[in-house]
Amino acid sequence: MKIGFIGLGIMGKPMVKNLLKAGHEVVAYDVVKENIDNVAAAGAKAAASSREVAKECKLIVTMLPNSPHVKTVVLGENGILEGAGEGTVLVDMSSIAPLVSQEICRACAKKGVKMIDAPVSGGEPKAIDGTLSIMAGGEKAVFDEVYDILMAMGASAVYCGDIGAGNTTKLANQVIVVLNIAAVSEAFMLSTKAGVDPIRVFEAIKGGLAGSTVMNAKVPMITKGDFNPGFKIDLHIKDLNNALETGHEAGAPLPLTSLVMEMLQTLHADGHGQADHSGIAMYYEKITGTKIRK
């Protein structure tokens, strides 16, 4: 199948390559030429604009940083809606505000374009190996239509409800992940300050109720002081901004999320915005003057 793909960053590039491996033809565009060249070398066809992608493809995937970028790519000059014909399907896999997904979907519907929001969890490692967790919102029939395409990039794709439900689910995911990382950082600082090797603590508790995928992924990074990004602090700040905004609109209290947001904002101000979100540990290291590592 011919698939358009717009947004070739840390996640988009490996997702395109997995679509190519699955035998699909991909027409790709990004504002950064080097990113286009990267996927073109893997077999994708380069496009000159989002509009050009839409003129060539009846199915388009977007993977962009935040709500304004998706609005520009879909609704803006030389955007998708300028090139898309009736019956085109847009799968926005960006993590954005649910209300923006609904706004974009309404604009698409006026041109006969169908849309689902289908953000992902798993970060760069799972984008590379094609095992992302995908959560989708929109018309169930559209989700069913693109399910096999989603599964070329993920290990699971779950229908969550109407348009925006995918992004609401992703926000819930991001809240759980960031609070988990903060809890792990706090607990391992406790063990370090009390004189107990954090690696031994990890080995002792990872198989019990405190164990989690987050702990297994992030504790080895924290104990090595390796904060090379799989998912950047600045991106998690973006997601928590969307979560807090959505929570305020829905009347859902998010006091713990607000607290961790302040930790992330401190790290951003200290120049760590491009570090992995496991770098929340650096907040505790800063306020204690102690390293959580061997």
Which residues does the annotation mark as catalytic? Answer: 170
Question: Is there a contact between 153 and 19 (Cβ–Cβ < 8 Å)?
Answer: yes
CA distances from 186 to 34, 228, 272 (A): 40, 20, 18
Cα 74 from Cα 78, distance rounded (Å): 9
Q: Looking at this protein, which amino acid is placed at residue 102?
A: Q
Give the SS3 label for residue 221: helix
Residue 68: how many other CB atoms lie within 10 Å: 12
Total count of residues recorded for the chain: 294
Can you read off the two tokens belonging to residue 150? Answer: 């989603």
Beta partners for residue 2, in sequence order: 25
Smallest CA-to-CA distance from 246 within 171, 159, 194 is with 171
Can you read off the two tokens belonging to residue 140? Answer: 């169930």
Long-range contacts of 242-247, Cβ-Cβ distance < 8 Å, separation of 24 or more: 242/66, 242/67, 242/95, 242/96, 242/97, 242/98, 242/167, 242/171, 243/171, 243/174, 243/175, 245/97, 246/97, 246/98, 246/99, 246/168, 246/171
Question: Is there a contact between 134 and 118 (Cβ–Cβ < 8 Å)?
Answer: yes
